[in-house]
Structure 1
C-alpha cells in the first residue's frame, strides 16, 4: 500500500512473532498492540490497522515523520553535563515546535470538518506535551478540546466523554487555569450532553460556559456568543421557542455590532481566526434558517439575519455571496420600512459599496450551506436530532426581545 504519489511510504503487515513476548510495538493512535507497520525513509511507525495508519499519515505523520527519527533515536554519546543540558534543551524546543505544528493541523481539519484527520495531530500534541511537562499539565487542555470536538463531530459520544473526563481532571489539578479554558471545557461537556439528549445537564454546563467566557472576555464578546448559540439550541430542542429565539437574537446582535465595527477598523478582522469566522458562519446561517422557518422568509428579523450573514461574507471575502445576502436583506427592509428609512439606506449603502471582482483563489473561507448541507436538511447538532416544532406563528410575529442572559455563577463553579 502506498500513500498518494509517494511510493516510499508504505504499510505492510507486522510480524509480531519477530518481537520478544510483551514487546510488540504499540499503535501511535490507540496505544493497542500494533498489527501493521508504516515504513518511511525516516522512521518506521506502527499502527493497529491499515486504516488507522492512513488516517494518521494524512492527518499529521507525513509532516512530522522526518523529525520523529532524530527525536526517538537514543544518543550514544554521553558528553559533558553542559553537552547533555544543551541536548535536552534542543529536544524540548523541538517538541514544543512540533506541538504547535500538530495543533495547527488539527485546528485546520476541524475548520474543514475533516474530524477524523484532526485526531492524529491532537493526539501527537498530547504525546509531546506529556513528554515535556508530564501528566496533568495545563498545556494539554487545548489538544484535549480539539480531540473532544473531533469526536463530537464524528458522533462518538463515548470517546468524547473519555477525553473530557481527562480534561476535567487536568483542570482540577491546575487551580490557576484560565477562565477561557474553563469556558471551553464546559462548552464541550454541554455539547456532549446535548448530543445525548441530556438537555437539563447541557443547559447547566453551557451556563457555566457563558459565565467563564464573560469573566474572561465579556458578555458581548464574539467568543461568548458561541455559548448563547448552544443554549438556544438546547431551548429549541426543548420546544421553548421564544427562549431559543431570544438567545439566537443575542448571537446576531453580537456579530452584527462586531462586523459593523470591523468595517470601520480592519484591525478587528485580523483578530478573528479562520476557525471563528467559519463557526460564526455556521451559527448565523442556522439562525437565518430558523427565523425563516418560524417567522417567515420575509419577516424583518429574517432580513436582519440575512444582512448580518452578508456582512460576515464580506469579512470572509466571499464577495458574491455577500452581495446576494445583502440584496435579499435590502428587499425585506424596503418592503417593511420603505426605501427612505435610515436602516434601509444603511443596507443600500453597504450593498452599493460591495466590490464586484471575484475573490482571489485560496482566500475564501467556506461556511454555511456549502460547508454543512446536512444541517440545512434537518435540525441537527452533534448527532442530536431536534423534534419537529408544531407551533404555528403568525407571519408578523414580533421578534423576541433581545436580552443579556448572563447567569449568576452556579454553586460550586470553581471548576
Structure 2
C-alpha cells in the first residue's frame, strides 16, 4: 500500500473523506487526488478498490488541459465521460464479486465509488443510480445493518418510482434485494412475493432457463428451506442445478469435440473458458457450492441428485482452471455413480470430464517446463 500523508488543506477549501465524506486529514501519496479522514478508511478503500483505480483517478480529478479548438474540447470531454463510465463498471463488478464471495465489508468502498461516478455522469435522479444503491443495500444486509439497508432500498425504490424508463433488469434487481431484506428479517411471505417478481422480470430479460435467472430461483429456494418446506426447496435447487449443468456441459462438450481435431495453440488450451465474467463466476461458485453442501446433508439416500451437483461444480472449477478441486469433485461423483442401477451413461460422462482435467493438467505441466527452460 502506498504511503499516506497528513494533509495541509488550503485555506477555504473543504476536502472530504472518500469513504465517509467526513472532513479529510490525509491524502493518498500515489495519486494525490484522493482524501481520507484517517488511516482506517484509507486502508479500507485501498483494499477494496483504490489499488485498482488509483492512477485512473488522476485525469478525472485534475484540471482539464487547455484546448485550442471547440473540437478538441469536445473530444476531451468525451474521453473524460468514457473514463468515468469505465470506472462505474469496474467498481460495480469489483463490489459485486466481493458480495458473492461473502466479503461484504470490502464491497462497500467499491460500491460507493460506483454510486459517485454514476451521480457525476447521470445526475442525482437517474435510474442508473439504482444498481449501486442495491449493491450498498446488499452489503448492509450482509453486515447485519438492516436499517442502513432499508435506507438504500428506499432510495432505489423512490428513484424507480420517479423514472419513466426503468427496464425489467432494474426491476429484477430491486425485487431481488427486497427479497434478501425480507429474508434477513424472517418475513418469508414478503420475501417470496418479491423473489417471485424477481423471477418474472429476470425471465423477461434473459429467459427462464438462463444462468442469470438462476440466482432468483436459488434465493426463493433458500426461503422455502428456511421455512422447512423441503419438497418445494428441493425442486427449486434441482432447477438451479439443471440450469447450470446445461450451461457448463455445453462448454465441456465443445472442448471434447475440440480434442478430436488438431491441437489448438497452447494459449487456447490454457485459457479460462466459462463464458462468464468474474462476478458471475463468483456467483456460480457461491450458488452451486451452497447447493452441494445442502445436498450432502439432505439427499444422502438419493445418490443421483448428489452426483449431478458434484459433476456441475466439478465442471465449473475445471472451466475456471481450478483443476485440483475439479478432479476431487469429479472423482467423488464417479465413485458415487457406481451405485446407480443404470450407471454407464453417467460414469462415461464423468470419465470424459476426468480425461479433460488430466489433459489440461498435462498441458499446464508441459507449458511450465517450456517456460522454465526458456528462462535458462
Aligned to 1:351: 354
Q: How far has the Cα of 1:227 moved from its partner?
A: 0.8
Query: 3-state DSSP class of the match of 1:136?
Result: coil
**Which residue of 133, 136, 141 corresponds with 2:130?**
141
5+ residue gaps, structure 1: 362-415
Q: How does 1:127-166 map to 2 (within 5 A)?
A: 127-166=116-155
Query: 3-state DSSP class of the match of 1:355?
Result: helix
Q: How far has the Cα of 1:240 moved from its partner?
A: 0.9
Higher relative contact order (CA 8 A, sep 6+): 1
Aligned to 1:198: 187
Query: 3-state DSSP class of the match of 1:26?
Result: coil
**Which residue of 263, 271, 275 corresponds with 1:271?**
275
Aligned to 1:291: 295
Residues 129-174 of structure 1, C-alpha deviation per residue, up to 9 Å, x if partnerless?
A: 2122211223323333333333333333233222222222222233
How many pairs were matched up? Answer: 349
Q: How far has the Cα of 1:285 moved from its partner?
A: 1.9
C-alpha distance in structure 2 between counterparts of 1:347 and 1:313, whole Å: 14
Query: 3-state DSSP class of the match of 2:26?
Result: strand
Aligned to 1:33: 23
Contact 1:292 1:299 in 2 (8 A): no
Aligned to 1:49: 38
Cα pair distance change 1:270/1:241, threshold 3 Å: closer
- 1:182 is the counterpart of 2:171: yes
TM-score by length of 1: 0.73
Contact 1:103 1:125 in 2 (8 A): yes
Provide the alpha-carbon RMSD of the alignment.
3.1
Query: 3-state DSSP class of the match of 2:23?
Result: coil
Aligned to 2:314: 310
With 110-119 and 157-166 compared, the bigger mean Cα shift is at: 110-119
C-alpha distance in structure 2 between counterparts of 1:136 and 1:359, whole Å: 53
Cα pair distance change 1:297/1:49, threshold 3 Å: farther
5+ residue gaps, structure 2: 259-271, 366-376
TM-score by length of 2: 0.80
C-alpha distance in structure 2 between counterparts of 1:63 and 1:287, whole Å: 33
Query: 3-state DSSP class of the match of 2:17?
Result: coil
Contact 2:248 2:274 in 1 (8 A): no
Q: How far has the Cα of 1:87 moved from its partner?
A: 4.8
Aligned to 1:92: 81
